[in-house]
Structure 1
Amino acid sequence: MYDIVVLGAGASATAFLQSIKKLAQMSGGIESPLKVAVIDRQSQYGTGRVYQQDYEWLIMNTPVEDLSCVYDDSSHLANWLKKEVSTSSKYISRNLFGLYLARCLESVCESLSVHFINDTVVDVEPIVESSSNVVSISLTSGDRFQSKAIVFATGYPLDLKEDLYGIENVTKSLYPLQSNLPCLEKNEVLVFGTSLSSVDVISTCHHLEYDCKITICSRTGSLPNVKGQVIEPVQPKFCLYSEYYKDYRNKGCALSLRDILRRVRLELKSHCIDWRSYLFPKRGIEDQISIFRRRLDSARTGNSSFDLVLGMIPEIAETWALVDTSQLRLFMEKFQSRIRAIHGAIPLHNAQLLANKLDNGTVRLSQLPSSLVERNGKHIATFPDGGQKVYDHVIFATGSRRSLKFHTDSLIRATLNKLTDKPYTEFGAEVHLPSGRLCNSGGHNLYAIGHASEGSHPFMNNFGWIVKSSHMSAKAIIKKLRESTNNESLFS
């Protein structure tokens, strides 16, 4: 019998276990009988799928101070970099970040007894008749055991494109590029997505000197924001959790998106930015390229609007627990894709590379094709203007693909289906905020963190919020275990 079993061993799981370690230390010691298991089918624990060994030119789009894996210690990664690799870089490679995550997980194991299981979970069975609400877990190996609490840290679902299985020359899962991206020499390539991941594809083809032409496409054709050489988040004046909490108390009920937007409008207005054109630009492809070039020029002079966004997003992410759950659909339909585009920003050198490629015609920007047909390994795309183009390879670089209709991880679906008739929304599994406990889970301690919880919280592409929300889940689980065991010395 385990106290906690974590399904997945990537960045979210590592952040969660760091918080378990920290909370155990705060309780007066780490000589505790807490029994923890981590299950993942890949054995590179800590890195997950996306931060495994990859090309050294793939740089994280988030500055070092926002990538700390330890809650309430923003300097943890920076201090580790200075000590272990003698660097004080503002941005680091995906490789180096993966190494940091692996080391963080190793440090957890120095303090807590963690059993790593390299296997695949085939079934999670809540034992309904059990008075202690334990859960049974079955593996492909045939092994079976029980746990008092389950944490789904399964990341992006891998089963989002069942309709594409068997189709030739399609890259469905992008990272790590070093193993997933095929040779694209002399290829015409269609990339779904115009944000951060698509720029990684362009950068990789450039570094590998592939002679290929790439079309990147999305619904609006919006290109990424651009970061300057120096990033300094602007402290919001209006978009603050403390101010939203006052609104919540004064209103006497949950906030609406209108309440959230009201303070966003005030914040943008204070910086002479028209909120409507900023959040809902109605422009064509050529306009999007012009806007991108202006962003590039602004970033060169250190006047990027990204600094303002960087300050607001964490405050809004924390506020989401105060928002009426019925507002999720409206947010996903009207705001989500645009917020992701604004929040996602690429370093200056990648922005310049993209601008150069757009100039020389090796990269083309387009809206989504109205149809895509595969014939004999080739892909025929028909675009809204009626034009057609044949592509040798198709790449999906759309992140979690929430705007294309997000689906809950199949393991969570199967588990909740045993407990309720309506376990999740079309956008993912629903969780109670801020604990992360799955809704409709009965009395069982079933939790979802990171991208597995996006059915209730749409800001899980922000690593700082993943760390904070994982910490809150860790606190909630320890509280539950403490109540069930009456073990005051273990959990505090």
Structure 2
Amino acid sequence: MNENKYDIIIIGAGAQAISFLAGICSYIKKNDNHYNLKIGIIDKKENFGCGRVYNHDFPWILMNTPATDLSIDKNNRFEFYEWIKKTIDPSILLENNYDFVPRNVFGLYLKDKYIDFKNQLYNKGIILEDIIDYAKDISIDKNEKVDILLESKNNIKTNYVVFATGPSNSDDYYNLKICKNYIHNPLPANQKLINIPKDANVGIIGSNLTAIDVAVTLKHLGHTGNIFMASRNGKLPEVKGKYLKSYPPHNAQYLNFKKLSEHKKDSLSLKDLIRYIRKDLALHGYHWRNFFFEKNSKPESFEDFKCRVEEAQTSPTPFNIVLGIIPEIAKTWRLVSQDQIDLFMSNYYRQVHQKHGAIPLVNAEKILKLMETGQLLLKGNLTDVNFKNQQFNLNFKNQESLKCDFVINATGPKKTICQNVPKLPFTTLCASGNVNETHIGGIIIDINTGKILTKNGFYQNKLRAIGHNAEGSHPFINNFAWILETSFEVAESLFCEVINAKRTDGT
């Protein structure tokens, strides 16, 4: 293939890639220029537009974010909601719920937007080519061109690469992949969970968002056996209730943090963030430390969770406070020093993420019912899982052990890229020092441009990362609005650079 066939290659064709394309389309609308560019986008055929996460699945696998917060159009937050009303048969929606819709509905919306963006780009002289394949390895040659080896054995060259893949599969913490009846990745549930015998005892490792989807799916499939949900902390996610409403913070605002940074003439620390956050929590009657880091934290009981669900059914919940603060902190990370981001990711991310990750009330009610009937048992202090005599043993700190016929992994995504065995397609890039990440995982980037930090301390101009790939600099990247905002910034920055380079070359 010709060396300059592609100006940009995007790896991944899901929500993060579509957000990047939305950013380019937003930029080219500002003028009447005609561009002579070629962009390639690499992914499996079934994932184009929707990615793996939002592909076809059961209708009860819901988005955990309201439809009004999922528009790909930054200037119209209701675009997705209006698209649902116009396009989707109400019978597809669970209980006629237009707020929390099935994930595959969001996938259909993204596919629609992909086609729309493809046409917009074509009308401006930009070819967007689907490359139905898988990127196996990437390197940068002596001429500063990026060489991509595909699973098909083909090689393609490009001037720039944008990593836009979604969250990676989680680690196999207990070395269970070789065991019969172990399911490492439960999604899509309509393929992975459909053949579990209804009377089997099932262990779910994890108690956050994916674990909820697994338990809800087993319920809908008519499962009658025991379900053991086991994790280190034994806590269920926050609940998005009937009175879901963002409480805008009075103090913890990006503009206030920006002024503080300018006054200090330096980056912010975690203590700087806490000073403002604790004031807002105090206004609502909470002490910041107890709010995020409970003393004598213990696994959640049925009664504790019942109280939280009843609160979500009848009144505003503390999650409304988090809903207001998190977007402001997400924007503020660009003002925080990298060593403080590393500290946050190492010591505090898990507790804060527990507050940030929340489930719709409809799912919380289903989990509560499973607990009330005794079919679902929530357990904390998980220490080990092993497989002996054709059964799994879930082992806990108190020497208790539970036996299961099946185990389903529902822990969080893997963050590391280069550590231990490098994640594909980063093998050569890691070996050559072209990728730097935090010690617990997450690529470090320049937030404004998406350029990846190298081991030598400079930003690699040819490589950009957005979304989950950039978690080393964006700790709250699971927030779609923040994925959209940062993808727009990176898209505009890179697009301008490509255009300027072409003008310089006279092409």
**Which of the five TM-score ranges fits, normalised by the shorter chain?**
over 0.9
Residue in 2 aligned with 1:179? 191
| 2:76 paired residue number | 73
Q: Which of residues 231, 256, 261 in structure 2 aligns to 1:218?
A: 231
Q: Is the 8 A contact 1:225 1:344 kept in 2?
A: yes
1:32 positional shift: 2.2
Look up the match of 1:260: 273
Report the Cα distance in structure 2 between the residues aligned to 1:72 and 1:170, rounded to whole angstroms.
Answer: 45
C-alpha distance in 2, partners of 1:408/1:454?
A: 19
Report what 2:242 is aligned to: 229
Q: Are 1:12 and 2:24 an aligned pair?
A: no
* Among candidates 325, 328, 332, match of residue 315 of structure 1: 328
Matched, 1:109 2:121: no
Residue 165 in structure 1 maps to residue 188 in structure 2: no
Deviation larger for 78-87 or 36-45: 78-87
Residue 290 of structure 2 aligns to which amino acid in structure 1? Answer: S
1:279 and 2:292 equivalent? yes
Instruction: Using the TM superposition, name which of 33-42 and 71-80 deviates more.
Output: 71-80
Confirm whether residue 473 of structure 1 aligns to residue 490 of structure 2: yes
Check conservation: 1:156, 1:451, Cα contact below 8 A: yes
Q: Could you say which residue in structure 2 is the equivalent of 1:120?
A: 134
Task: Give the alignment partner of residue 52 of structure 1, picking from 55, 65, 83.
Answer: 55
Q: 1:237 to 1:334 in 2, by over 3 A?
A: same
Query: Residues 164 and 486 of structure 1: is their aligned pair in 2 closer, same or farther, counting only changes over 3 Å?
Result: farther
Task: State the partner residue of 1:64.
Answer: 67
2:93 corresponds in structure 1 to: none
Instruction: Tell me the SS of whatever aligns to 2:244.
Output: coil
TM-score by structure 2 length? Answer: 0.89
1:448 to 454, 465, 475: 465
CA distance, structure 1, for counterparts of residue 409 and residue 216 of structure 2 = 16
Select 1:94's aligned residue among 89, 92, 103.
Answer: 103
Q: Which residue of 2 aligns with 1:301?
A: 314
The residue aligned with 2:124 is: none
> Tell me, what secondary structure is at the counterpart of 2:426?
helix
Structure 1 residues 334-363: Cα deviation after superposition (integer angstroms, max 9, x where no partner)? 321122111122222221221222222111
Deviations 1:369-412 (A, max 9, x none): 22221124421122100111211111111232559x99896135
Counterpart residue number, 2:341: 328
Shift of 1:246: 0.9
Secondary structure of residue in 1 paired with 2:46? coil
Q: Helix, strand or coil: the match of 2:29?
A: helix
- Preserved CA contact (<8 Å) 2:385 2:393: yes
Find the aligned partners of 2:345 and 2:158 in 1 and give their Cα distance: 34
Matches within 5 A, 1:124-143: 124-127=138-141, 129-130=142-143, 133-143=144-154
Looking at structure 2, the residues matched to 187 and 148 of structure 1 have their Cα atoms a distance apart, in angstroms, of: 53
Unaligned stretches of 5+ residues in structure 2: 91-96, 122-126
2:326 partner amino acid: I
Asked whether the 8 Å contact 1:416–1:423 carries over to 2, the reply is no
Q: What SS does the aligned partner of 2:55 have? A: coil
Secondary structure, aligned partner of 1:95: helix
Deviates more, 1:153-162 or 1:181-190: 153-162
Task: Choose from 210, 219, 228 the match for 1:206.
Answer: 219
Once the two structures are TM-superposed, the CA of residue 297 in structure 1 deviates from its matched residue by 1.9
Q: Which SS does the other structure have where 1:304 is aligned?
A: coil
1:406–1:369: structure 2 CA closer, same or farther, 3 Å change rule? farther
> Equivalents in 1 of 2:309, 2:20: separation in Å?
37
* Segment drifting more, 292-301 vs 440-449: 440-449
CA separation of 1:96/1:262 partners in 2, compared to 1, >3 Å: closer, same or farther? same
1:146 aligns with 2:150: no
1:278 CA drift (Å): 1.2
| Aligned equivalents of 2:434, 2:60: Cα separation in 1 | 47
In 1, Cα distance between equivalents of 2:409 and 2:73: 31
Residue deviations 1:215-264, cap 9 Å, x none?
Answer: 11222212111112242211111111111111111111111111111211
Q: Which residue of 2 aligns with 1:21?
A: 25
**Which has the higher mean CA deviation after the structures are superposed, 95-104 or 354-363?**
354-363
1:33 alignment counterpart: 36
Number of equivalent positions? 485
Whether the 8 Å contact between 1:54 and 1:176 is mirrored in structure 2 is yes
The one-letter code matched in structure 1 to 2:114 is L
**Does the 8 Å CA contact 1:285/1:365 hold for their aligned counterparts?**
no
More deviation in 377-386 or 64-73?
64-73
Relative to the length of structure 1, the TM-score reads 0.92
TM superposition shift of 1:36: 0.6
- Range 177-186 or range 45-54, more displaced: 177-186
Question: Which amino acid in structure 2 is aligned with residue 358 of structure 1?
Answer: M
